[in-house]
A = this chain, B = another copy of it.
Amino acid sequence: MILNLDFNSDVPIYTQIREEIIKAIANGNLKLNESLPSVRNMAEEIGVNLHTVNKSYNLLKDEGYINIDRRKGAIVNTLPLPKNDLNDNKIKSMLDLLVAQTYLTGMSREEFLDYSNKLFDKYGVKDYE
């Protein structure tokens, strides 16, 4: 389990861990129903505090990406996640800001959509099933 973390970033470590795990699930590095490393192992592996990893796992649980089972530890949830208005709205709100920035910084609509498509390809073909 390799996470790409930047300790000099002003993005909190627990947020970075959350984001890296989401990407890992999306691109298949973490398979459905697979167990994540234990909080303790993960913390040791990447050299951060137990609390930090714990916070990330709890975030991911609250958002529905993983389940935390007393016996089996943290496991990736079956996908797609049950529809969830909160997640949906968060995504749309982020997308709104992102498109505004894209528009203002001169990246074309076409370039944006192309790049989006490339990312969807990377993450799977679920929408074509």
A113 touches B116 (CB 8 A): yes
Interface residues of A (CB under 8 A from B): 7-8, 10, 12-13, 19, 22-23, 25-27, 48, 64-65, 67-71, 79-84, 87-88, 90-92, 94-110, 112-113, 115-117, 119-120, 123-124, 126-127
A81 touches B103 (CB 8 A): no
* Distance of A115 Cα from B115 Cα, bound (Å): 15
* A-B pairs with beta carbons under 8 Å apart, 15 shown: A10-B68, A19-B97, A23-B100, A25-B104, A79-B104, A80-B104, A80-B105, A82-B106, A91-B101, A95-B116, A99-B119, A99-B120, A103-B126, A109-B117, A113-B117
- Total copies of the chain: 4
Most buried by B among A88, A95, A99: A99
B91 touches A102 (CB 8 A): yes
Contacts of A116 in B (CB 8 A): 95, 99, 112-113, 116
